Amino acid sequence: MNMIKRFKVSFSKIFSKLFKKKGACIGIYGPPNAGKTTLSNRILKDWVGGEETMGSVSHIAHETRHAKRRNGVSIEANGHTINLDIVDTPGLATKIDFHDFMEQGMSDSESKKRSKEATEGVIEAVKWLDDLDGVILVMDSTENPYTQVNVTVIGNMEARNLPLLIVANKVDLPEADPAVIKEAFPQHPMVPVSALEGIGMDSFYEALAKQFG
């Protein structure tokens, strides 16, 4: 009798694993230096712990040159837990000029190499859209949101019917104006945060659960 009971328990565990709902795969997009990797790192710090990060950050644009995926991030918000796979993508840009890297003190050859890597990163980020269940679009709340990159990304998401959450980042800076972003794209939910300082993250996770949970 005990053996039958143990068999039922073991079978139940196997069955639940086989039919467990797959977590949504969410891509973090945005222009260079908007704070995508900083946001990704903050999510891991809050919900994974330890020293794990998605990548390094830099004031030089296009520091993230390849998409990085972290599976199985469990986030508790709105009274329940959501399981997400997070993809930190390279910065999107409509134009990449190696002279911009030279202005940061890089050599001619290194600048051209970084420019090539950045271009490849944009292509990779666009390809990832085919495998995503939703997108977090990070914008710098100190800058004009009416850019070709932002408008193009949002238009692309709408054409694909992908759920979208806009993050107005860097609200810790005095010149930040997240209300302008909300006014620019009122058709999508927006949450103001400082991924660096951890400001507004509770509201972000609540919005995340509502949009992708």
Q: Is residue 1 part of a domain?
A: no
Q: What is the pLDDT of residues 53-79, one digit of tens each?
A: 776 565 554 566 578 899 999 999 988
Q: Is residue 15 included in any domain, yes or no?
A: no
Q: How many domains does the chain have?
A: 1
**CATH number for the domain harbouring residue 204:** 3.40.50.300
Domain of 33, in residue numbers: 21-59+67-99+107-212
Pick the closest to residue 47 from 210, 204, 212 (CA basis).
Answer: 204
14: in domain: no
Tell me which DSSP letter residue 20 carries. P
Distance of CA 94 to the CA centre of its chain: 19
3-class state of residue 83 by DSSP: strand
Only one residue has tokens 């009274």, namely 79
- Give residue-wise pLDDT tens across range 4-52: 544 444 444 443 333 344 579 999 999 888 999 999 999 999 999 878 8
> Quick check: is 137 in a domain?
yes
Q: Which residue is associated with the tokens 């694909």?
A: 160
- CA-to-CA distance for 179 and 44, rounded, in angstroms? 27
SS3 content of the chain, % helix, strand, coil (to 5): 40, 20, 40
11 in a structural domain: no
pTM for this prediction = 0.81
Is 125 within the bounds of a domain? yes
Please check whether residue 2 lies inside any domain of the structure.
no
Q: Is residue 127 one of the residues assigned to a domain? A: yes
